[in-house]
Structure 1
Amino acid sequence: MSEFECKVVTIEPLTANVQRILLRPENAPDFKAGQYIRVVMDEGDKRPFSIANAPDESGLIELHIGAAEHNPWAMQVIEKMQAEKSIVLDGPHGNAFVRESTPHPTILMAGGTGFSYTWSILQQLLKSALKEPLFLYWGTRTAADMYALEELEALAQQHPKFKFIPVLESPEKGWQGRTGLVHQAVLQDFVSLEPYQVYIAGRFEMAGAAREDFHQQGLMLENLYGDAYDFI
């Protein structure tokens, strides 16, 4: 793990409050799908973000940053990238990367921009034909916040063993999909989680509730992965 400089290639909006950033490292680091980097604001201020892409030949690093005026912690990162056109990162970090050595049925679960973590893992797993079922549950407040909805629906059509389940907390009139809390949707769909690997990203409260409830529903905790579990 070391610091490296990146050129800012693009910053583009995914929603009113989420920016997609593409960075080109001078020397691309080796990383695994599901790891994160830290943006170096100064020596004592390094801010973590999940890498949103799987490793590929482009050498790029993609980030999805939720940044609004009420979130200066993230807004300052965007503003620094816009002003300086380059940024120093350190990493990669994290032990919640995808495990591919022994295929398992797998559940990816994300809340909000925690989706970037699961998006990286999903891209990695779809590089080869799926041997086991793969589910992605993504919970957002509204449909407008679910910026990859159409792309994920298309991937579910292309890959028979992959199923995408969107879950909205505050659905608009006419929404035909699932509603409520995303981890509750998982609990409703599986009688037992014992055979599954589960990867989770989102608010710490969600991750903590999911760990307890999924374990009660049979999930072995050694098969549960998420960076939140280093802190809660």
Structure 2
Amino acid sequence: MSDILCQVDAITPLTEAVYKVVLTPASPVDFYAGQYVLVHMGETDKRPFSIANAAYNNQQIELHIGADENNAYASEVLERMKSEGEITISGGHGEAHLQSNGKPMILIAGGTGFSYAYSILQQSLKDHPHTPVTLYWGGRNKEDLYLFDELTSMAEENEQFSFIPVVEYADENWQGRTGWVHHAVLADYTDLSDKQVYIAGRFEMAKAARDDFYERKLPDDQLFGDAYAFI
């Protein structure tokens, strides 16, 4: 897999701590929806970030990078991109990409794990327009769900797509679901035997979800997430 030099076209804030990065590679990046790239910071320092755009649009690479003041791992990447205007990447990497098996899909994202789910969502709606897709996106508050309005509109326009936002700390104006995002899935499904599930977020969330979903009869070969290569 070759290294690809990319121009940094734009870095724009999505929240106070999350940034949308648009890269234009010197040559198209071959990847599957749900894969990630490695950003090369050094010979042995290569940092993974999920690709947020669909695979059918590989002339650019979109990343959603969460980089608050306590996250030097991501902040250093943004600073390198800003100062040099270019960055070397490689990809696509990862085995948790979109599968074409026709089963109804459940996408579960915590925080910027949304970028993984967003790539899969866009690709699925294009390639498998008759496959039902439900996205559960969890954040600490509504402001963390930075594409809330866009996803709400997408769900209104596409009868095969449902968007279920979940917040941990709701204010008095919130009318939606609250708590842990994977608990919202458990509340909606007593039997997952005929579903495929894609998940991205904190490792502890992914592990808890795996245990709970297997109890709901989800086949182990229908659960996808990069975290499961490590836990």
Cα separation, 2, equivalents of 1:93 and 1:133? 26
Q: Is the 8 A contact 2:30 2:91 kept in 1?
A: no
Cα separation, 1, equivalents of 2:7 and 2:217? 45
- With normalisation by structure 2, the TM-score equals 0.98
Instruction: Give the deviation of 1:191 after TM superposition.
Output: 1.5
1:61 aligned partner: 61
Cα separation, 2, equivalents of 1:56 and 1:10? 20
2:185 aligned partner: 186
The Cα offsets for residues 148-200 of structure 1, whole Å up to 9 and x where unpaired, read as: 00000001011112110000001111100000000000000011000000000
Instruction: Give the deviation of 1:129 after TM superposition.
Output: 5.7
**How many residues are aligned here?**
231
The Cα offsets for residues 60-81 of structure 1, whole Å up to 9 and x where unpaired, read as: 0000000011111110000000
- With normalisation by structure 1, the TM-score equals 0.97
Instruction: Give the deviation of 1:51 after TM superposition.
Output: 0.3
1:43 aligned partner: 43
Instruction: Give the deviation of 1:110 after TM superposition.
Output: 0.3
* Structure 1: unaligned runs, 5 residues or longer: none
SS in 2 for 1:126: helix
The Cα offsets for residues 8-60 of structure 1, whole Å up to 9 and x where unpaired, read as: 00000000000000000001121110000011000011000000001234600
Instruction: Give the deviation of 1:90 after TM superposition.
Output: 1.5
1:31 aligned partner: 31
Cα separation, 1, equivalents of 2:99 and 2:41? 31
2:88 aligned partner: 88
For 2:43, give the aligned amino acid. Answer: E
1:177 aligned partner: 176
* Structure 2: unaligned runs, 5 residues or longer: none
SS in 2 for 1:46: strand
Instruction: Give the deviation of 1:128 after TM superposition.
Output: 4.4
Cα separation, 2, equivalents of 1:186 and 1:106? 12
Cα separation, 2, equivalents of 1:29 and 1:148? 25
Cα separation, 1, equivalents of 2:227 and 2:151? 24
Q: Percent identity?
A: 52
1:195 aligned partner: 194
Report matched runs for 1:95-106 at 5 Å: 95-100=95-100, 102-106=101-105
For 2:213, give the aligned amino acid. Answer: F
The Cα offsets for residues 70-100 of structure 1, whole Å up to 9 and x where unpaired, read as: 1111100000000000000012100001012
Q: Is the 8 A contact 2:56 2:123 kept in 1?
A: no
Cα separation, 2, equivalents of 1:197 and 1:53? 21
Report matched runs for 1:146-161 at 5 Å: 146-161=145-160
Cα separation, 2, equivalents of 1:212 and 1:2? 37
Q: 1:60 to 1:182 in 2, by over 3 A?
A: same
Q: 1:34 to 1:133 in 2, by over 3 A?
A: same
Q: 1:179 to 1:57 in 2, by over 3 A?
A: closer
Q: Is the 8 A contact 2:13 2:19 kept in 1?
A: yes
SS in 2 for 1:174: coil
Report matched runs for 1:106-121 at 5 Å: 106-121=105-120
